[in-house]
C-alpha cells in the first residue's frame, strides 16, 4: 500500500514508514554500486545483473554477486568476527547481522539470531506521577540577549519546575575550565540563572544545573569537538576537569551538572572506540570529586539520544553507577536529515510515542531503573516544505525544511510560540494522531510542522507514569509563548500559577 491510496489513517502512515525505516535497517536497505560502496560499511550485493546493489552481510550480499566491500563483517551473528558476536546494549541481532530493538530485528520468525524478543520494563519504584517528581526545564541562554522573544533568566517560570538546566556552558580546550558558550551567552548569565533558585519564593527545593556540551560543541571542524574525548582519556585530565567544574559550580552557585556529549565513539562526530569505557571513568571521577567537595553533594546527570545508532556507544550500566538520572532526548526522531537515511525524504513527526517506547527498550535491556529515566518533551516542532501540496499527510514527500521562523530564523524548526502564532493567525486544521501522540498542521499552502499540546503531552505523561519513569524534561522552556501555554498544557495548571523571579514577568517580545 502507498500513502496516496486512501487506505491508511494518519497513525497507520506513521507506523508504515516507521516500520519501513526499521526494515531497511534490518537487512541494510541502503543502495550501492561498485564505485559507490555502502555508507554503513556493509557488502554491496548486486543481484540479477543490475548495476545498483543493496547493502547487507552474509553469503547473500558478500558472495559471488558482491561488487564492493566484499570482505565486510556484520556487527553481530553467525557471520561476525568473532562468530556469534552479540550486539552492544544487549539488543537483538537480525538475520543479516544488524543490531536493533524493534520487531524487524527481534522477531524470531524474521531470522533474529540473538537477544530476541522484547523485555518488559522493570517495575518502576516511582511513588508519584512524573509531574510531581521531576520537571526539568532547559534554558537556552542565548535567548537572554535575543533580538526577538527575549527571555532573560528572570523570566524562567520557576514555580512550574523542580529543576532548571542552563544550556550551554563550554569547556576551554586548553585549560579545561568551564566557560561561556559564546559572546552571546556572557558569564553573568551563569550567576543570573543560578540565582533563580535563591530568589524564588515558594519553591526552595528548585535545583539549578549547568548543562555542558550540546550538539554544536561536538560539531565537525570545531576546536571543541575532541575536548570530551581528550578529557576522558587520562586520569590526570579527568581529575583536572572535575576540580575545575567543582570550582565553577561553587563560584556561581549551581547545584549540579548535566553532561551532554553528542556523541562518544561516534565516528561521524569525532568519536573514538575508547570513548565508551572512558566516559564511565569520567563519571566515576566526577562522582568521587563531587562527594569529596566542600558542598559534599552535587547532582550529576547525562543526556542520551533516542537513536540506537548513537546510543550503542553508551555503557548505560557503567554510567548509571555514578549518575543520579539520565535524560532521554525523546524528540528529534525525524527531520530533514531523513533524506540521507533509507527511509528517505518523508514527512514524519519529530516525536512519536510508539517510537519513544521502542527507544526506551535498550534501557530496560540494561537494567536501568525507570525511576532514573527522565522523558524528554519538546516545546518546538520540526517543519518541512511539502514536495506536493496535494499530499500533506504523514508519509508524504518533502522538498526540504520549511521556511525559517520569524524569530528562530532556522529552516526546519519552529518554536512553540511561532507555531501558536500560526494557529492563531491562519487557523489551520489541527490533525491529532492519537496512536503516535502528536499533532501536525499544514499552513502557507505547503508548510508542515508537528508539535505537542495538552492532549499529546498527557498521552506521553500517562505512558511515563505507567512505566514509573522519574520525571520529564523540557527542551526548551524559553520556546514557550508569553502565556506559558505549553507548560500549562503539560502540567494542567493555569499560567497565573507560574511565577518568574520578576513576579509573573512576560518575556520581552520585540520582533515576533
Q: Where are the beta strands (DSSP E) in 162-213?
A: 163-171, 178-180, 207-213
User: Looking at the structure, do residues 96 and 138 belong to the same domain, yes or no?
Assistant: no
Domain membership of residue 385 (yes or no) is: no
Query: 256 and 177: one domain?
Result: yes
Q: Are residues 96 and 154 in the same domain?
A: no
Q: Which residues have a Cβ under 8 Å from the Cβ of 492 and sit 6 or more positions away?
A: 131, 454, 458
Tell me the three state secondary structure of residue 174.
coil
* Residues sharing a CB contact under 8 Å with residue 104, sequence separation 6 or more, in sequence order: 19, 22, 23, 25, 26, 94, 110
Domain range holding 96? 25-110
Q: What per-residue confidence (pLDDT) applies to 332?
A: 92
| Sign of the CA dihedral with 34 first, then 37, 38, and 43 last | positive
What pLDDT score does 91 carry? 98
In contact, 164 and 136? CB cutoff 8 Å? yes
71 with 51: CB under 8 angstroms? Answer: no
| Per-residue confidence (pLDDT) for residue 18, from 0 to 100 | 43
Classify residue 442: in a domain, yes or no: no
If one counts the domains in the chain, the total is: 2
Q: What is the model's pLDDT at position 487?
A: 97
Task: List, for the chain, all residue ranges whose pLDDT scores fall below the cut of 70.
Answer: 1-29, 126, 198-204, 494-512
Residue 29's pLDDT is 57
pLDDT tens digits, 405-421: 999 999 999 999 999 99
CA distance 317 to 321: 7
Strand, coil or helix: 451 = strand
Are both 260 and 199 inside the same structural domain?
Answer: yes
Task: Tell me, yes or no, whether 221 and 156 share the same domain.
Answer: yes
Closest CA to 271 of 310, 320, 236: 310
Cell numbers at 217, concatenated: 560543541
Domain identity same for 171 and 82 = no
What are the grid coordinates assigned to 54, written together?
Answer: 543493496
Would 508 be classed as within a structural domain? no
Distance CA 5, CA 16 (A): 13
Is residue 506 domain-resident?
Answer: no
3-class secondary-structure state, position 130: helix
Burial class of 373 by CB neighbour count within 10 A (0 to 12, 13 to 18, 19+):
buried
| Residue 86: exposure state from Cβ atoms within 10 A (0-12, 13-18, ≥19) | middle
Query: Any residues with CB less than 8 A from the CB of 427 and at least 6 apart, and which?
Result: none
Give kind and range of the element (H or E) at residue 462: helix 454-467
Rounded Cα distance, 190 and 188, in Å:
5
- Here the CATH number for the domain that contains residue 229 is 3.20.20.80
From its phi and psi, is residue 404 left (phi > 0), alpha (psi between -120 and 50) or beta? beta
CB 32 within 8 A of CB 53: yes
- Supply 503's cell numbers: 513576579
10 within some domain: no
318 and 186 in a single domain? The answer is yes
Domain boundary among 76, 110, 144: 110
Strand partners, 270: none
CA dist 378 and 252 (Å) reads 28
Query: Is the domain of 105 the same as that of 171?
Result: no
Same domain, 311 and 351: yes
Residues 322 and 267 in one domain: yes
**386 lies in a domain?**
no
The answer to whether residues 135 and 104 belong to one domain is: no
> Is residue 211 domain-shared with residue 281, that is, in the same domain?
yes
- For the chain, the first-to-last Cα distance in angstroms comes to 43
Give a yes or no: residue 447 inside a domain. no
- Report the relative pairing of strands 207-213 and 431-433 from DSSP bridges: unpaired
Among candidates 353, 292, 364, which has minimal Cα distance to 326?
364
Asked if residue 222 belongs to a domain, the reply is yes
Owner of C-alpha cell 553528542: 262
Three-class secondary structure of residue 136 per DSSP: strand
Amino acid at each position: 500500500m502507498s500513502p496516496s491510496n486512501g487506505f491508511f489513517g494518519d497513525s497507520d502512515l506513521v507506523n508504515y514508514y516507521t516500520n519501513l525505516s526499521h526494515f531497511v535497517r534490518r537487512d541494510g536497505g541502503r543502495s550501492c554500486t561498485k564505485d559507490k560502496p555502502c555508507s554503513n560499511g556493509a557488502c554491496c550485493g548486486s543481484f540479477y545483473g543490475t548495476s545498483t546493489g543493496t547493502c547487507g552481510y552474509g553469503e547473500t550480499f558478500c558472495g559471488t554477486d558482491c561488487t564492493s566491500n566484499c570482505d565486510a563483517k556484520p556487527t553481530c551473528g553467525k557471520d561476525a568476527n568473532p562468530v556469534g558476536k552479540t550486539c552492544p546494549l544487549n539488543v537483538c541481532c537480525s538475520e543479516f547481522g544488524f543490531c536493533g530493538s524493534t520487531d524487524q530485528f527481534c522477531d524470531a520468525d524474521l531470522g533474529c539470531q540473538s537477544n530476541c524478543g522484547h523485555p518488559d520494563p522493570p517495575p518502576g519504584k516511582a511513588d508519584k506521577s512524573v509531574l510531581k517528581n521531576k520537571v526539568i526545564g532547559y534554558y537556552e541562554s542565548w535567548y537572554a540577549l535575543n533580538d526577538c522573544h527575549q527571555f532573560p533568566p528572570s523570566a524562567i517560570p520557576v514555580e512550574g519546575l523542580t529543576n532548571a538546566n542552563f544550556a550551554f556552558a563550554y569547556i576551554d580546550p586548553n585549560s579545561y575550565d568551564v566557560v561561556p558558550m559564546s559572546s552571546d551567552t556572557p558569564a553573568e548569565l551563569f550567576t543570573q540563572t543560578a540565582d533563580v533558585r535563591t530568589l524564588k519564593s515558594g519553591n526552595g527545593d528548585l535545583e539549578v544545573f549547568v548543562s555542558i556540551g550540546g550538539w554544536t560543541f561536538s560539531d565537525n571542524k570545531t576546536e571543541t569537538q575532541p575536548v570530551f574525548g581528550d578529557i576522558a582519556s587520562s586520569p590526570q585530565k579527568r581529575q583536572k576537569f572535575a576540580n575545575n567544574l567543582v570550582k565553577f559550580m561553587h563560584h556561581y552557585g549551581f547545584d549540579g551538572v548535566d553532561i551532554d556529549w553528542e556523541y562518544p565513539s561516534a565516528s561521524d562526530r569525532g568519536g573514538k572506540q575508547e570513548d565508551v569505557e572512558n566516559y564511565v571513568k569520567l563519571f566515576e571521577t566526577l562522582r568521587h570529586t563531587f562527594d569529596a567537595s566542600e558542598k559534599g553533594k552535587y547532582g550529576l546527570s547525562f543526556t542520551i539520544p533516542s537513536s540506537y545508532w548513537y546510543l550503542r556507544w553508551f555503557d548505560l550500566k557503567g554510567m548509571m553507577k555514578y549518575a543520579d538520572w539520565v535524560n532521554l532526548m525523546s524528540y528529534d526522531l525525524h527531520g530533514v536529515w531523513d533524506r540521507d537515511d533509507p527511509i528517505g525524504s518523508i514527512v514524519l513527526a519529530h516525536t512519536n510515542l510508539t517510537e519513544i517506547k521502542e527507544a526506551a527498550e535498550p534501557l530496560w535491556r540494561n537494567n536501568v531503573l525507570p525511576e532514573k529515566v527522565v522523558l524528554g518533551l519538546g516545546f518546538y516542532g520540526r517543519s518541512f516544505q511539502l514536495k506536493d501540496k496535494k499530499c500533506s499527510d504523514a508519509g508524504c514527500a518533502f522538498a526540504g525544511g520549511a521556511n525559517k521562523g520569524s524569530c528562530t530564523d532556522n529552516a526546519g524548526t519552529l518554536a512553540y510560540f511561532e507555531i501558536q502564532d500560526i494557529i492563531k493567525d491562519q487557523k489551520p486544521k489541527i490533525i491529532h494522531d492519537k496512536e503516535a501522540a502528536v499533532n501536525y498542521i499544514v499552513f502557507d499552502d505547503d508548510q508542515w510542522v508537528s508539535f505537542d499540546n495538552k492532549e499529546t503531552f498527557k498521552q506521553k505523561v500517562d505512558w511515563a507514569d505507567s512505566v514509573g519513569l522519574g520525571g520529564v524534561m523540557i527542551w526548551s522552556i524559553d520556546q514557550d509563548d508569553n502565556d506559558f501555554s505549553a507548560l500549562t498544557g503539560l502540567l494542567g495548571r493555569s499560567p497565573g500559577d507560574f511565577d518568574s523571579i520578576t513576579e509573573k514577568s512576560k518575556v520581552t517580545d520585540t520582533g515576533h
